[in-house]
Amino acid sequence: MLFDTHAHMDDRAFDDDRGELLSHLPEAGIGLLMNPGCSLDSSRAACALARKYDYIYAAVGSHPDAAAEVNPQVLEEYRALVRENPKVKAIGEIGLDYHYEDVPREIQKEAFRAQMALAAELDLPVIVHEREAHCDGMAIVREFPTVTGVFHCYSGSPDMAKELVSLGWYIGFTGVLTFKNARKALEVAASLPLDRIVLETDCPYMSPEPFRGKRNDPGKLYRMAQALAALRGLSEEDVQRLTLENGRRLYRI
Ligand code: NI
């Protein structure tokens, strides 16, 4: 049984076959699934999916691309979604993305800090999206010593991962683990303590080999488990068990 710790099932890429796909995932080996929000609208959709399907859990938050929407009223909406639904287990995804910079860095940082503070207030873990913003991301993490969670689709250095682990964080790996040229991600995944690694599809993006370029979905998570098993010299069963336990510990499920 696998835990997809980061899947955007509310994405419009699934509009044509979402119900069909979600009703068959448990028999395809997906025992648990975390659907993070990317915006207020997407957070509401994630909560609705968590109500409908036993194995789905939700997180609420505004992604760096939606950082401009974050204001006291939106934060109050997130508080209400957490209060109303015990299956909301995290704040996310939140963070910094300096790759495209559609949203100015200062606005991203402000939204990230406000949502880290919300997680501290509600005593929830966070799901962090951090791309090409390693220094600023770590600086904000250090400002909130009581908040931990997961750095999803990890793209930092082995040293940064080591620091995160020492602070109590988890590291999430996607289909990148199956890419031949993924030297950096493999180096990190090879060096981390086994109780700090979680697996995710980040679907509909980041399809693993041999599905690269196609729409990703949680049914392809077994490929990440196979890649991690080969890398760490473990059986696939052990990887499934370990990463499932890690995901449950991370999200307190
Ligand atoms: Ni994501």
Cα gap 12→108, rounded to integer Å: 24
* Ligand 1 centroid from CA 74, angstroms: 20
Tell me, what's the pLDDT at 100?
85
* Ligand 1 centroid from CA 173, angstroms: 11
pLDDT single digits (tens) 40-60: 999 999 999 999 999 999 999
C-beta atoms surrounding 69 within 10 Å: 15
Q: What are phi and psi of 95, to 5 degrees?
A: 145, -145
pLDDT single digits (tens) 17-43: 999 999 999 999 999 999 999 999 999
pLDDT single digits (tens) 117-128: 999 999 999 999
* Ligand 1 centroid from CA 76, angstroms: 22
* Ligand 1 centroid from CA 63, angstroms: 8
Segments of the chain assigned E as strands: 2-4, 30-35, 56-60, 88-97, 126-131, 149-151, 170-173, 197-199
Q: Hey, which residues does 126 pair with through a beta bridge?
A: 91, 149
Segments of 15-125 assigned E as strands: 30-35, 56-60, 88-97
Tell me, what's the pLDDT at 126?
98
pLDDT single digits (tens) 147-180: 999 999 999 999 999 999 999 999 999 999 999 8
Tell me, what's the pLDDT at 212?
93
pLDDT single digits (tens) 182-235: 899 999 999 999 999 999 999 999 999 999 999 999 999 999 999 999 999 999
Tell me, what's the pLDDT at 159?
96
